[in-house]
């Protein structure tokens, strides 16, 4: 047939073409008239779709729409999502068709190297995608979009925290004064190492402290401890206080501290390099220790 429905859809419209009558010679004459007995709801629907007033457009358009819907529902590339009218059974059929996997555990999201994931969140995202009927390929696109967003947020938060941390450290230096700050820091670090040497803290704790030494809160704590030790002149050592102030040390204690510092690479870096910001403090401490050892020995 050569009617408008055939031209647009490639197939005859079901039940033939409304208003079409054969003409001599086999041609079809189209009068494009809507049937007079159309029910009012049908007329209202046609009007709402903008195809009722001009049957010459509306009839072929509806025929083509019917053909495309039929093709999609018969296994074509286009899948029509159910509307509000659909019942749960119909919705579930749609989701089963679109997922592409038999169960939610078969979703296999890929994350970039080095991207830390929360197993509980990944499990939840798979269940959510399953419930919504998300196709497997689109699920991966969503995961990729999420991790790009998350990495950006993490980077922004890290930069913000670093800025705040640096400002807090500078404020602490200003409050204490550069020289007092350096002295307190050195004394505080000695306290931590002395606690390690006495067995009061573990190597793992010491490494954790060194790892986070850039934290403003930890720096304030260490410098505060260092200031307190400088004032008291002692640090507990298994129940026998050992002085940290060279003027309070015996010759044996001073020599023991000198030997310990000679084996302390970090202290030696400060002591031997005149470019180190804590060089002067290290030199002053070693000078006082030698003086204490010589004075007590005499």
pLDDT tens per residue across span 162-190: 888 888 888 888 887 887 777 777 777 77
Q: Are residues 51 and 107 in the same domain?
A: no
CB 286 within 8 A of CB 271: yes
pLDDT score at 192: 72
Q: Name beta bridge partners: 234.
A: 243
The model's pLDDT over 189-231, given as tens digits with 9 standing for 90+, comes to: 777 777 776 667 777 777 776 666 667 777 777 777 666 655 5
pLDDT score at 297: 54
Alpha-carbon separation of residue 292 from 107, 183, 186, 250 (angstroms): 72, 19, 19, 7
Q: Name beta bridge partners: 29.
A: 21
| Reported pTM | 0.39
Which residue range is the domain that position 265 belongs to? 245-298
**Which comes out higher in pLDDT, residue 146 or 12?**
146
Residue 208 lies in a domain: yes
> How far apart are the C-alpha atoms of 241 and 258, rounded to whole Å?
18
Q: Are residues 235 and 260 in the same domain?
A: no
Residue 259 lies in a domain: yes
**Which comes out higher in pLDDT, residue 30 or 152?**
152
Q: What is the mean pLDDT of residues 242-250?
A: 75
Task: Please tell me the number of Cα atoms within 13 Å of 206 on its side-chain side.
Answer: 16
**Which comes out higher in pLDDT, residue 18 or 259?**
259
The number of domains in the chain is: 4
Residue 87 lies in a domain: no
Kindly write down the DSSP assignment for every residue of 8-72, as one continuous string.
Answer: HHSSPPTT--TTEEE-GGG-EEE-----TT--HHHHHHHHHTT-SS-HHHHHHHHHHHHHHHHHH
Residue 78 lies in a domain: no
Q: Which of 29-38, 44-53, 76-85, 252-261 bottoms out in mean pLDDT, i.e. has the lowest?
A: 76-85
First to last CA, the chain: 125
**Which comes out higher in pLDDT, residue 8 or 39?**
39
> How far apart are the C-alpha atoms of 180 and 47, rounded to whole Å?
86
The model's pLDDT over 144-163, given as tens digits with 9 standing for 90+, comes to: 888 889 888 888 988 888 88
Which residue has 């039940």 as its token pair?
Answer: 15
Among 31, 58, 73, give the residue marking a domain's end: 73
> How far apart are the C-alpha atoms of 172 and 175, rounded to whole Å?
5
């Amino acid at each position: 047939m050569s009617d408008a429905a055939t031209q647009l859809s490639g197939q005859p419209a079901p039940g033939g073409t409304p208003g079409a009558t054969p003409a001599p010679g086999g041609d079809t004459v189209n009068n494009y008239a809507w049937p007079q007995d159309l029910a009012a709801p049908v007329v209202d629907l046609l009007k709402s779709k903008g195809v009722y007033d001009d049957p010459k457009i509306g009839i072929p358009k509806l025929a083509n729409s019917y053909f495309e819907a039929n093709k999609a529902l018969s296994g074509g590339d286009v899948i029509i999502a159910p509307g509000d009218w659909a019942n749960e059974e119909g919705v579930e059929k749609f989701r089963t068709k679109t997922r592409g996997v038999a169960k939610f555990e078969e979703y296999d999201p890929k994350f970039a190297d080095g991207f830390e994931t929360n197993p509980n969140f990944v499990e939840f995202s798979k269940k959510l995608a399953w419930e919504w009927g998300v196709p497997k390929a689109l699920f991966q696109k969503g995961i990729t979009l999420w991790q790009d967003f998350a990495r950006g947020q993490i980077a922004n938060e890290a930069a913000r925290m670093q800025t705040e941390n640096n400002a807090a450290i500078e404020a602490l230096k200003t409050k204490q004064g550069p020289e007092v700050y350096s002295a307190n820091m050195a004394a505080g670090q000695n306290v931590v190492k002395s606690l390690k040497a006495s067995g009061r803290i573990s190597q793992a704790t010491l490494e954790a402290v060194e790892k986070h030494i850039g934290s403003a809160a930890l720096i304030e704590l260490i410098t505060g401890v260092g200031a307190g030790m400088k004032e008291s002149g002692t640090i507990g050592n298994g129940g026998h206080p050992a002085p940290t102030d060279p003027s309070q040390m015996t010759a044996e204690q001073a020599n023991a501290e000198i030997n310990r510092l000679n084996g302390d690479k970090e202290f030696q870096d400060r002591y031997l390099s005149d470019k180190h910001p804590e060089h002067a403090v290290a030199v002053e401490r070693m000078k006082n220790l030698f003086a204490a050892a010589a004075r007590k020995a005499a």
